[in-house]
């Protein structure tokens, strides 16, 4: 391998080659959702995935995030080739390299803000003291230092989503996948959350894919993709 190819491999965080995403119907037949997807994102890069609801954005993000093994083709994360039928490998890759933010925060109602954030670190056997220090540092950055012992039911929608951001970033993933992270928020909070995601991921050199149907927000990102007729197209 020549030097240029070596450098490209080092830079590439996620790569999809000729990937088809499918679901199985009640007859166990494959229904193709995304066809012949080729995509790559480099370290520290941010891309926007735009388009209306139902266009396939979530299916694409689920594929990038290895949330199931219903795909064919080649997926590589951090130079690790993903094996489609090895659920254990998919789980380990997600746990170690990928952070997720969804339209709904998915916070555990019986846990405090701090407990919601550090639970992922504890699952990775990270020292609890270090996990708490990291969580408190991030909470300060998103303006929630005084909410660490509060339960989610006492938070506003924007506050809950800020906690979800911290939870996604706590273990410094290589790539952050955000699926309509501002979809449930008013315009003011939507801009706040979007700006926070961009700032925190840039500060931490995290590759980021953000799906949104809000073109005003997506203008802050230079690289745009859309899904049209099951195909991924760079704009």
pLDDT tens digits, residue range 202-218? 999 999 999 998 888 89
Domain extent for 128: 44-73+83-234
Q: Which residue has the tokens 């506003």?
A: 156
CATH of the domain at 96: 3.40.50.300
pLDDT at 105 over 60: yes
List pLDDT tens digits, range 150-193: 999 999 999 999 999 999 999 889 999 999 998 888 888 899 99
**How many Cα atoms are found within 13 Å in the side-chain-facing hemisphere of 107?**
29
| Residue 20 counted as domain residue | no
pTM, full prediction: 0.88
The count of structural domains within the chain is: 1
CA distances (Å), origin 121, targets 77, 110, 114, 230: 20, 18, 11, 36
| Residue 17 counted as domain residue | no
Q: How far apart are CA 47 and CA 63, in angstroms?
A: 16
Residue 29 has φ and ψ, to the nearest 5°, of: -85, 145
| Residue 4 counted as domain residue | no
pLDDT at 140 over 90: yes
Could you give the 3-state DSSP secondary structure of residue 94?
Answer: helix
| Residue 170 counted as domain residue | yes
Contact 196, 208 (CB under 8 A): no
Three-state secondary structure of 77-93: ECCEECCCCCHHHHHHH
Element of type H or E holding 20: strand 12-24
pLDDT at 73 over 50: yes
| Residue 100 counted as domain residue | yes
| Residue 168 counted as domain residue | yes
> Count of CB atoms within 10 A of residue 221's CB?
19
**Confidence grade of residue 148 (pLDDT, cut at 50, 70, 90):** very high
Q: How far apart are CA 131 and CA 125, in angstroms?
A: 10
Burial of 5 (0-12, 13-18, 19+ CB in 10 A): exposed
Q: Which of 205, 210, 176, 207 minimizes the C-alpha distance to 194?
A: 210
| Residue 30 counted as domain residue | no
Once rounded to an integer, what is the mean pLDDT over residues 12-17? 93
| Residue 191 counted as domain residue | yes
| Structure tokens, 225 | 């993709």
């Amino acid at each position: 391998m020549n030097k240029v190819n070596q450098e490209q491999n080092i830079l590439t965080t996620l790569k999809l080659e000729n990937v088809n995403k499918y679901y199985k119907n009640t007859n166990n037949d494959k229904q193709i959702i995304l066809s012949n997807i080729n995509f790559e994102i480099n370290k520290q890069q941010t891309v926007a995935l735009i388009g209306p609801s139902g266009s396939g954005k979530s299916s694409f993000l689920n594929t990038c995030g290895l949330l199931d093994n219903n795909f064919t083709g080649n997926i590589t994360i951090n130079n690790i080739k993903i094996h489609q039928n090895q659920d254990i490998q998919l789980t380990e890759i997600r746990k170690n390299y990928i952070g997720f933010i969804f339209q709904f925060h998915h916070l555990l109602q019986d846990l405090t803000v701090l407990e919601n954030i550090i639970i992922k670190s504890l699952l990775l056997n990270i020292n609890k003291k270090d996990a708490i220090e990291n969580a408190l540092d991030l909470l300060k950055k998103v303006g929630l230092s005084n909410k660490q012992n509060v339960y989610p039911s006492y938070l506003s929608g924007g506050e809950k989503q800020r906690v979800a951001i911290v939870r996604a970033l706590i273990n410094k993933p290589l790539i952050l996948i955000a699926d309509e992270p501002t979809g449930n928020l008013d315009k003011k909070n939507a801009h706040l959350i979007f700006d926070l995601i961009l700032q925190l991921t840039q500060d931490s050199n995290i590759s980021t894919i953000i799906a949104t149907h809000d073109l005003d927000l997506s203008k802050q990102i230079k690289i745009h993709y859309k899904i049209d007729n099951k195909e991924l197209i760079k704009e």
